[in-house]
Amino acid sequence: MLLLAAPAVVILTNLFVFRQARPFIYPSVATVPSRTITIVPGTTVRGGQPGKTLTDRLASALDLYRVGKTQAILVSGNRRDAYDEPGVMRAWLLRHGVRAGDVVEDAAGYRTLDTMQRAARVFRVTSAIVCSQGVHLPRTIYLARQAGIDAVGVVVDPHQPAHVLYAPHETLGSAVAFIETAIGRGPSVLGPARPIEGDTRTTALLR
């Protein structure tokens, strides 16, 4: 009986997450409302460089910064041993002209839930733009808003169809996101509050 019910639960939770997030997702930098802070969730880096998926996210954040729709960029990802997503993201943004004081690193964004919970609880973010792929944004925006952030999302690849390999991951991910927020699951690592404010926004690794 449980095996028969599982697909229905996954479908229903995905529909719920999508419908909750859809009003807050925008197709372009030109249409998304301004927010002081932009969040870039991390993903794979190789050889000290962001992969295409992450580069697209960073490029959208850079566009928002250049046109004055955001003033600070929170780069959140996984830092373990020699693997360093936020460090690579920060370096990319600095190379493209973002002020060092306008980039904040979160090295404990191990999952999207961690990124959004820590943005709210550690960095005291109350509103933000999130830059990510269209296939990832519903779950991301849902998690951000469940964390208490007035979040809007900008689709970084509006003309690119979602990769078929991502669909199963995101379908399961949305179901898990619904369950974890329902039971009040928090981030793997929390740490002291470090609000993003003032002119010096760079923060050290929080553990």
Write down all domains in the chain, each with its CATH number in brackets. 24-182 (3.40.50.620)
pLDDT given for residue 154 in this prediction: 97
pTM score, two decimals? Answer: 0.89
The DSSP letter of residue 128 is E
Strand partners, 131: 154
Do the beta carbons of residue 17 and residue 138 sit within 8 Å?
Answer: yes
pLDDT given for residue 160 in this prediction: 61
Burial of 1 (0-12, 13-18, 19+ CB in 10 A): exposed
pLDDT given for residue 197 in this prediction: 65
Identify the top-confidence range among 3-7, 46-50, 125-129: 125-129
Angstrom distance (rounded) from CA 2 to CA 139: 24
pLDDT given for residue 200 in this prediction: 38
Q: Has residue 157 got a pLDDT over 90?
A: no
Output the average pLDDT for the chain: 88
